[in-house]
Structure 1
């Protein structure tokens, strides 16, 4: 399923999978733009984004008179659709390439505010401990959304498992593979399903947040891991364009990029999450 069709189905299912993780209230109670006293409703993936934001809400925000309501989502589409429909004031889970793909597909008017951390993408396996041991014809799980699929294929190419046709790297799909010496087969799945797919695949490319949530440590468990250096895939804070200049958004961005948050990330994620 591509992102465009996922957006349509996600809108219909929005209220079914939202988990309110802080102050009470319904998903339709996002604050009015420009009200500095109103709580800021922020959508996140539970791990590590929800954990990091909960630290900010509990330990840093009160001193800045900022109230944060945390809303957790289990996929990558609905935090954006909830932001578009006004259920949220901001979200913190995605990268710039993913945001660009979403806005191009949906026409949404969203604004990137600030990067916070990188979660290196990794290749994991329950059956082999080295990529050289992957058998001929091995099945590899990869994300089915355009941004993360291309990112996963770039990881495989960077480690010599495949090559991609020149010029296709940013938008690569399996159709853009130029050479495939191990005759790898690809199983395209929703990103959240990839950790579970390890029971059925020889290896799967898993996003950092879903790896951590599944009890995997990217720094030690991945067969190969995306480099964090000069990585364009930092996860960051996003809002609607109309809220770009909201002082609450500016305060939250400042707190998320603070030394306190960098220290919290370094102390709690052992290199699996890297502050920018």
Structure 2
């Protein structure tokens, strides 16, 4: 075989490989709280000729491990503070690609209807991981129940509490277990998505929500930097953000307890 024929054969193989890559399904990792609207986006993508495979994980560690390993193309379950913490802990080379929604987080009580009713020494359950506990503490500060050192933001810890007039007893538990703490603690940091999944009490019954007070908590589509020019990714994000079918699914799942993080 001449050099020209060998070169032609190699170029042809490259074209085939590239075509196969373009036809491969986009693999999107997520968790249960975000799966249903993503399923709607996957169905819409299929109608438009874009193949997408949704991979659902049962914890908050595996989606980044899988993404870093190249087993999936993008994940959607985390906000920027969570991502930055994961990168610092494990050395992941991952970046946010596009914003999704922000889910409101609230303070719930089975026993009391206002913060004024909380007695001294009341028990308050918040998340125990470094990122979500900071969000819980910021909520308590917004409620006027504690005061935090200026500027600590989402990195707040109990050491940053400068005033606790009701002498609240803060209990830290796993975020996914906070729903169960509702029956025992006087006040609970709650995530509407997980409350709906548990079907134990009304997700809209919080005494206070944080909403867009902290836009750093917008859930992000996260990728490896090398994936930033993947046309499949851009098409799928456009469907998620702009399809009326996906928006209807977001409304059905989240009610009014979310906002979009992108410009409409």
Change (3 A) 1:114 1:121: same
In the alignment, the residues of structure 1 paired with residue 214 and residue 135 of structure 2 have an alpha-carbon distance, to the nearest angstrom, of 14
Equivalent position SS for 1:221: coil
The aligned counterpart of 2:27 is 41
Is the CA contact 2:109–2:187 (under 8 Å) kept in the aligned structure 1? yes
The aligned counterpart of 1:123 is 107
For the aligned residues, what is the CA RMSD? 2.0
1:253 aligns with 2:237: yes
CA-CA distance at 1:149 after TM superposition: 1.0
In the alignment, the residues of structure 1 paired with residue 153 and residue 252 of structure 2 have an alpha-carbon distance, to the nearest angstrom, of 34
Is the CA contact 1:74–1:192 (under 8 Å) kept in the aligned structure 2? no
Equivalent position SS for 1:264: helix
Larger displacement relative to structure 2 (207-216 or 165-174): 207-216
Q: Which runs of 5+ in 2 are unaligned?
A: 1-17
Please give the residue correspondences for 1:182-201 in structure 2 after superposition, counting only pairs within 5 Å: 182-201=166-185
Is the CA contact 2:87–2:94 (under 8 Å) kept in the aligned structure 1? yes
In the alignment, the residues of structure 2 paired with residue 100 and residue 113 of structure 1 have an alpha-carbon distance, to the nearest angstrom, of 14
CA-CA distance at 1:190 after TM superposition: 1.5
Aligned residues: 241
Change (3 A) 1:217 1:174: same
Change (3 A) 1:214 1:85: same
**Structure number having the greater helix percentage:** 2
| Structure 1 runs of 4+ with >3 Å offset | none
CA-CA distance at 1:217 after TM superposition: 4.3
Query: Structure 2-normalised TM-score?
Result: 0.84
The aligned counterpart of 1:17 is none
The aligned counterpart of 1:96 is 80
The aligned counterpart of 2:55 is 71
Q: Which has the larger radius of gyration?
A: 2
Please give the residue correspondences for 1:151-190 in structure 2 after superposition, counting only pairs within 5 Å: 151-190=135-174
Change (3 A) 1:269 1:75: same
1:243 aligns with 2:227: yes
In the alignment, the residues of structure 1 paired with residue 253 and residue 195 of structure 2 have an alpha-carbon distance, to the nearest angstrom, of 15
Q: Which runs of 5+ in 1 are unaligned?
A: 1-31
The aligned counterpart of 2:258 is 273
Larger displacement relative to structure 2 (222-231 or 124-133): 222-231
Larger displacement relative to structure 2 (80-89 or 112-121): 80-89
The aligned counterpart of 1:23 is none
Q: Match for 1:57 among 35, 42, 54?
A: 42
